[in-house]
């Protein structure tokens, strides 16, 4: 029976080096780390990178584990109607970050998924992350278009398998396809599915991934660490907003209009105090 002990130097304890807006993927950072540890892909392709939270997670794991993985990020870096549309600074910033931090592993390909598909040979991709448009038609199209590119040890990750909002059809496609292959599911946040499409995936790798998705302790640890990362980021944003509004308030207190206002209101305050005393 599989049993995985947690050592002090486990990648689980790594903290993400870079988190940026939008943060819909960041709860899966600890799971992403473990997937790279167990699958050790030579060639990783991501369809849908946006500002790079998932992509940087994979690259950080590759660096931490001293792997020689090549990680390809594919996106038109224009956005879509679900993720929203955005300007060129998103690509520029990610490109610069990857150039500095992950020059050995990270390769950014600014193309549509269908255009980029021609760049990869059949049986060449070990780990494919599907995170583009999340309609039923789009995920089905991306899956079948890229399936022949997967190697004999190929694994496909599906983000958003738990999202049931209008227009999101990954959950429907996932439920149709998962029984045709072995699979593991991480059902919290927006949900992450792991599909074992290769016919020669190492059984220990598979067992390890299944184990961390099913074992009560591991499941809780991964979910709690993911939520901790998410809440830490929210907290940082709130602290920033609070310090900005405190500064605005302090500046206002120094302004003439505030001081004049206080003088003008003082008779009213005096009257309110009297009324309150009388009432009590
Ligand atoms: C949900 S976002 C990706 C989120 C990202 N993985 C993260 O960690 O935050 C989807 C991205 O897919 C891109 N996209 C959607 N359909 C595409 C297509 N057919 N070709 C290229 N890019 C596409 C959009 O530009 C958008 O940046």
Ligand 1 pocket test target in 58, 83, 86, 233 with most atoms within 8 Å of CB: 83
The reported pLDDT for the residue numbered 220 is 94
pTM of the model: 0.89
The reported pLDDT for the residue numbered 153 is 97
- Expressed in angstroms and rounded, the spacing between residue 130 Cα and the centre of ligand 1 is 9
Q: Which domains does the chain have, with CATH numbers?
A: 11-231 (3.40.50.150)
- Expressed in angstroms and rounded, the spacing between residue 84 Cα and the centre of ligand 1 is 10
The reported pLDDT for the residue numbered 71 is 98
The reported pLDDT for the residue numbered 98 is 98
The reported pLDDT for the residue numbered 171 is 98
Low-confidence ranges of the chain (pLDDT < 50): none
Of 122, 126, 114, nearest to 45 by C-alpha is: 126
Residue 66 · residue 40 · CB < 8 Å? no
Helix segments in 102-146, DSSP class H? 113-117, 136-146
- Expressed in angstroms and rounded, the spacing between residue 72 Cα and the centre of ligand 1 is 13
What would the pLDDT profile of 23-50 be if each residue is shown by its tens digit?
999 999 999 999 999 999 999 999 999 9
Of 38, 63, 11, nearest to 201 by C-alpha is: 38
- Expressed in angstroms and rounded, the spacing between residue 75 Cα and the centre of ligand 1 is 6
Measured from CB, residues less than 6 Å from any atom of ligand 1 are 22, 25, 48-51, 53-54, 75-76, 78-80, 83, 112-113, 131-133
The reported pLDDT for the residue numbered 2 is 66
């Amino acid at each position: 029976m599989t049993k995985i002990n947690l050592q002090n130097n486990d990648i689980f304890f790594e903290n993400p080096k870079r988190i940026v807006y939008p943060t819909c993927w960041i709860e899966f950072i600890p799971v992403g780390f473990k997937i790279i540890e167990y699958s050790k892909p030579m060639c990783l392709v991501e369809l849908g990178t946006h500002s790079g939270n998932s992509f940087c997670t994979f690259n950080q794991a590759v660096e931490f584990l001293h792997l020689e993985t090549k990680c390809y990020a594919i996106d038109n870096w224009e956005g879509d109607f679900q993720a929203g549309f955005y300007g060129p600074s998103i690509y520029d910033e990610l490109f610069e970050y990857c150039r500095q931090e992950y020059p050995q592993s990270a390769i950014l390909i600014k193309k549509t998924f269908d255009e980029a598909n021609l760049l990869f040979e059949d049986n060449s991709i070990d780990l494919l992350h599907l995170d583009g448009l999340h309609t039923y038609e789009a995920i089905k199209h991306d899956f079948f278009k890229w399936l022949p590119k997967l190697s004999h040890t190929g694994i496909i990750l599906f983000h958003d398998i738990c999202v049931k909002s209008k227009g999101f059809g990954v959950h429907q496609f996932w439920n149709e396809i998962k029984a045709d292959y072995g699979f593991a599911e991480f059902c919290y946040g927006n949900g992450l599915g792991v599909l074992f499409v290769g016919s020669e995936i190492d059984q220990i790798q598979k067992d390890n991934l299944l184990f961390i998705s099913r074992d009560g302790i591991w499941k809780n640890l991964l979910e709690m660490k993911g939520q901790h990362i998410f809440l830490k980021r929210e907290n940082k944003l709130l602290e920033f907003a609070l310090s900005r509004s405190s500064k605005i308030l302090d500046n206002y207190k120094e302004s003439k209009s505030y001081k004049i206002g206080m003088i003008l209101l003082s008779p009213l305050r005096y009257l309110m105090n009297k009324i309150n005393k009388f009432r009590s």
